[in-house]
Chain A
Amino acid sequence: MIELGSDPAGTVRALATLRDHAAAGAEVRWSGRVDPGLPIAALRHLPPPDTLQGCAPGELDDWRRIHGYGICYYRVGPGFLQIKDYRDPANRFQLTVDDPRLTEAFLRLLEPAPLAELTAVTRRAVRVLAESNLVLVWQGHAVTLPPRLRRWPVPCQSI
């Protein structure tokens, strides 16, 4: 049972673990409980849980319906990151990030951290990234949500 919300540090760590397993294409089975306020819709690229206590009716169904390999990921290029985000069917977007403050913050928070440990510059970048749900900030702790794409699916044009 994964607790999402009540323990902020544990929550961002759990999300990072789910993110990395999803990126490897591994099958992940889990159940959890979620605090109200945690933005479930931002997690649809992670493997959906078997059960999730505390979520509103329909939210888990949406998660299962929308989830798929590669609906939200990033790729690394020379001096930039390419991000594809299809978590919200009504607002699918692709983004190229080349501002070093943003790319550094994005990559830094692949390893979850308390905001208090970040520099002021990184915290400002985190605010920008959080507006697009690329970084999740939960009660003073932050984690980057999209995984790096490590395996192309077949067909590779599907994502």
Chain B
Amino acid sequence: MRITLVAMPWHACDIPSLAISILHSRIQLTRPSDDVADYYGNLRWAEFLVSASEGVLTPQVYAGIAEDGFEHGLGDWVFSAALYDDPEFGYDELRDYAAERGVDIEAAVACRAYAAEFIEAAAEEILAGDPEVIGFTSTFMQNVATLAVARRIKRLRPECVLILGGANCDGAMGHALHRNHRFLDYVVRGEGELVLPQLLDHVERGKAPEDLPGVCWWDGDRSVCNPAPTRIVPPAAIPSPLFDDWERALEDSPVRGHVQPKLVLEGARGCWWGEKHQCTFCGLNGSFIQFRSKAPDVLWEELSTLVTKHRLLDVVMVDNIIDMNYLPGLLPLLRDQDWDLRIHYEVKSNLRPDQVEQLAAAGVAHIQPGIESLNSRVLRIMDKGVDGCQNVRILREAENNDVTVSWNYLYGFPGETDDDYGPVIEQLPALVHLQPPGAASRISLERFSPYFEDPGLGFPARVPARFYGYTYDLPVAELHDLAYMFDCADAGIEGEVVDRLHASIAGWAGGYPASSLVQREYGDGGLLIEDRRAGWPAADHLLTGREAQAYRLLERGRTTEYLAKALGHAGLDGFLGRLLDRGLIFRDDGRHVALATRNVPIRGALL
């Protein structure tokens, strides 16, 4: 069969779609006589915008909506006009919403003017390849552009079989997408590697997929939703992705000059922490949290082959958490190549200093450690399995190893109080030489998270996030099944303490580029700490003898009792108090952790 796999906006323009690249490979392996092609509708949309707007709507504008628009559904709203053949659809509601919340919608409004014309062109371009089956993938804001083009294709060529899959189809969302959109022949809920080739077999033989787990299909006008798969896809069934079509599409595109292309790879699915203690707010693993990973040598083979083939040194690992077996099994292989890789990895924040060093040496220049908070009690509420001092330690070690850290300060957890924030806010000025959070944000209620699944945990009433209302012409009950994000009453802190947290973090971000707090070995076992932090008087602090020894012990978060025992000396309160006053340590939950670094990274400004 001729099959086209489609990634629509707002998929990022600098990376291939891992979903269609893996499925392309999987179809080739399981159905070698099929003719498979990938269509990058996201690139075509970025090109279309530049051309139609005569250069005003640049790839940077595209990236702005793709990266920041999700919490307001802006990207989906852009295409809802095309889905419903109504240029005004949801416009007034969005305008009111934006005014209330101070959201800039100018770019989205400008893009929307071209959406219908683009959908028409994209449908024709996809059909020009004469596909018998079209598979769409949808994650985050790809839903409405995908629905719009699928609807148009069905009108132009009713016999073409349309299949939708991806993270947006997991659980109840998949059935809601299917039953409300008659033009979608099939929706695949859950992982696609095993079931998609089977579904293609059924399509080819004209057989209803009654026996295929997770598939939604039509029995006449009745949408049938098969039970979700009970079996996870084993790593052996996840082949190395095929990026050839993406490379060609990008090389031929004027967008190429505006982006830094990156490879996207997957070593593991699920979360080894979340299997036992799922973070209460996290829904990212969907309905399958069971952790599984490719063997380190298999991942090495994939990574090195793709880096060589596509001549790209930037790699985004999409794993929700690094497999700790990759530290001994994969990182040394990466380190031993003389390649200048820049790898992004999500990690757990309790990594030891030597492990951060290992990551940096292997080319992992960018980590996302899920820090979320610097207060141990709030971290316990979210079941993070780390404490505040460990989170500060990873920020310090990132600084020591020139590693970029992406993180956010989250608040709004049921059961937290102002007392969990006051002491942290007071100490934030001492952290100004460490990488600040990108933002302080109230947590969102996400489908699949413990907070969503168990209303007893603190969010009893919830409705689909407001943006679904101005994006989809569907009743609320249907949106309840289709939505990933939900609105609910605020929990946890509010008011003045929230304002103080935001103000303090803004000050942190402003002070970071010019701040350093560096410790150097001094004389016989002493430490000289040079304080050049914004907001602090320039000072050199000399610690000698037992004080220097104590400060070194505090590189790990330690209690006063531990320190007294290790040093054989009680009465450290005065010393620890002085360190706190000078902002040389951070204290939380009875532990103290040293803040001085051994290295100051080169601070860059985003170009």
Number of interface residues of A (CB under 8 A): 27
Judge whether A156 and B404 touch: CB under 8 Å: yes
Q: Is the CB of A78 within 8 A of B340?
A: no
Contact yes or no, A75 B340, CB < 8 A: yes
- Give the chain B neighbours of A25 by CB distance below 8 A: 602
Q: Does A99 contact B (CB under 8 A)?
A: no
Chain A residues whose C-beta falls within 8 Å of the C-beta of B601 in the assembled complex: 151-154
* Residues of chain B contacted by A158 (CB below 8 angstroms): 604-607
In the complex, are the beta carbons of A77 and B602 less than 8 A apart? no
In the complex, how many angstroms separate the beta carbon of A10 from the nearest chain B beta carbon?
29
Select one of A78, A79, A148, A153 contacting B603, CB under 8 A: A153
Is residue A159 within 8 Å, beta carbon to beta carbon, of the partner chain?
yes
The 9 closest A-B pairs by CB, nearest first: A158-B604, A153-B604, A75-B340, A154-B601, A153-B602, A152-B365, A156-B365, A25-B602, A156-B404
- Residue A37 at the B interface, CB < 8 A? no
Quote the shortest CB–CB distance from A45 to chain B (angstroms). Answer: 14
Bound together, the chains give a CA A156 to CA B435 distance in angstroms of: 12
A77 touches B365 (CB 8 A): no
Say yes or no: B604 contacts A69, CB within 8 Å: yes
Q: Contact at A152–B307, with CB atoms within 8 Å? A: no
Whether the Cβ atoms of B404 and A151 lie closer than 8 Å is no
A157 to B435, CA, bound (A): 14
Q: Is B402 an interface residue (CB 8 A)?
A: yes
**Given A148-B340, A154-B402, do A80 and B607 touch, yes or no (CB 8 Å)?**
no
Q: How close is B230's CB to chain A, nearest CB, in angstroms? A: 40
User: Across the interface, do B366 and A157 meet the contact criterion of CB distance under 8 Å?
Assistant: yes
Which of A76, A93, A148, A159 meets B604, CB within 8 Å? A159
**Distance in Å: Cβ of B343 to nearest Cβ of chain A:** 10
Say whether A98 faces chain B, with CB atoms less than 8 Å apart.
Answer: yes
Bound-complex Cα distance A66 to B606 (A): 14
Interface residues of B, Cβ cutoff 8 Å to A: 257, 260, 304, 307-308, 311-313, 337-340, 342, 365-366, 398-399, 402-404, 435, 601-607
Cβ–Cβ < 8 Å partners of B365 in chain A: 152, 156
- 14 A-B residue pairs with CB within 8 Å: A70-B604, A77-B308, A77-B339, A78-B308, A78-B337, A79-B308, A86-B607, A93-B257, A98-B311, A151-B601, A154-B399, A154-B402, A155-B604, A158-B604
A149 at the interface (CB under 8 A from B): yes
- CB distance A159 to B607 under 8 Å? yes
Query: Would you call A94 an interface residue if the criterion is a C-beta within 8 Å of the partner chain's C-beta atoms?
Result: yes
A96 at the interface (CB under 8 A from B): yes
How far, in Å, is A48 (CB) from chain B's closest CB?
A: 16
A114 to B: closest C-beta gap in Å: 28
Residues of B within 8 A of A153 (CB): 402, 601-604
A53: chain B residues at CB < 8 Å are none
Q: Which residues of chain A come closer than 8 Å to B312, judged between CB atoms?
A: 77
**Would you call A157 and B340 a contact (CB within 8 A)?**
no
Report the tally of A-B residue pairs with Cβ distances under 8 A.
80
- Asked whether A96 lies within 8 Å of B404 as measured between CB atoms, the reply is no
Q: Name the distance in Å between B506's Cβ and chain A's nearest Cβ.
A: 17
B44 to chain A: closest CB distance in Å? 22
The reply to whether the CB of A17 lies closer than 8 angstroms to some CB of chain B is no
Closest-CB distance, A131 to chain B (whole angstroms): 19
| Neighbour of A78 across the interface among B307, B399, B606, B607, CB < 8 A | B307
* Chain B residues, Cβ within 8 Å of A76: 338-340
User: Which residues from chain A contact B366 at a C-beta distance below 8 Å?
Assistant: 155-157
Q: Shortest beta-carbon distance, A107 to chain B, in Å?
A: 11
* Cβ of A6 under 8 Å from chain B: no
Tell me if A82 is interfacial: C-beta within 8 Å of chain B.
yes
- By a CB distance below 8 angstroms, the chain A residues around B402 are 151-154, 156
In the complex, chain A residues whose CB is within 8 Å of the CB of B308: 77-79
- Give every chain A residue within 8 A of B339 (Cβ-Cβ): 75-78
B260 touches A94 (CB 8 A): yes
Whether A75 touches B313, Cβ cut-off 8 Å, given contacts A154-B435, A155-B404, A157-B366, is: yes
Q: Are B311 and A80 in contact (CB under 8 A)?
A: yes
A154 touches B602 (CB 8 A): yes
Q: How long is the Cα–Cα vector from A158 to B366 in the complex, in angstroms? A: 12
On chain B, the residues within 8 Å of A148 by CB distance are: 340
Asked whether B260 lies within 8 Å of A77 as measured between CB atoms, the reply is no
Residues of A within 8 A of B403 (CB): 152, 154
0 or 1 for each of A50-81: is its CB under 8 Å from B? (1 = yes): 00000000000000000011100001111110
* Alpha-carbon distance between A68 and B308 when the two chains are bound, in angstroms: 30
Q: Which of A68, A153, A157 has the most C-beta atoms of chain B within 10 angstroms of its own C-beta? A: A157
In the complex, which residues of chain A have a beta carbon less than 8 angstroms from the beta carbon of B606?
A: 155, 157-158
Question: Which listed residue (A69, A86, A96, A152) contacts B342, Cβ 8 A?
Answer: A152
Per the bound structure, the CA–CA distance linking A156 and B262 in Å amounts to 14
How many angstroms from the CA of A76 to the CA of B602 in the assembled complex?
A: 20
Q: Which residues from chain B contact A152 at a C-beta distance below 8 Å?
A: 342, 365, 402-404, 601
Residue of B nearest to A148 (CB): B340
**Inter-chain pairs besides A75-B340, A152-B601, A159-B604, 13 sampled, C-beta below 8 Å:** A68-B604, A68-B605, A75-B313, A78-B304, A78-B308, A80-B311, A82-B313, A151-B601, A152-B342, A154-B399, A154-B603, A155-B404, A156-B342
> A77 touching B307 by the CB < 8 A rule?
yes
Q: How far is the CB of A40 from chain B (nearest CB, A)?
A: 22
**Bound: A68/B513 CA distance, A:** 14
Q: Considering the chains assembled together, what is the distance between the CA atoms of A93 and B365 in angstroms?
A: 23
Chain A nearest CB, measured from B508 CB (Å): 14
A148-B338 Cα distance, complex, nearest whole Å: 12
For B313, give its contact among A69, A77, A151, A159 (CB under 8 Å).
A77
A153 to B605, CA, bound (A): 9
Max count, chain B CB within 10 A of own CB: residue among A79, A98, A152, A154: A154
Verify A151–B340 contact, CB threshold 8 A.
no
Nearest A residue to B305 by beta-carbon distance?
A: A78
Which of B340, B399, B603 is A149 in contact with, Cβ under 8 Å? B340
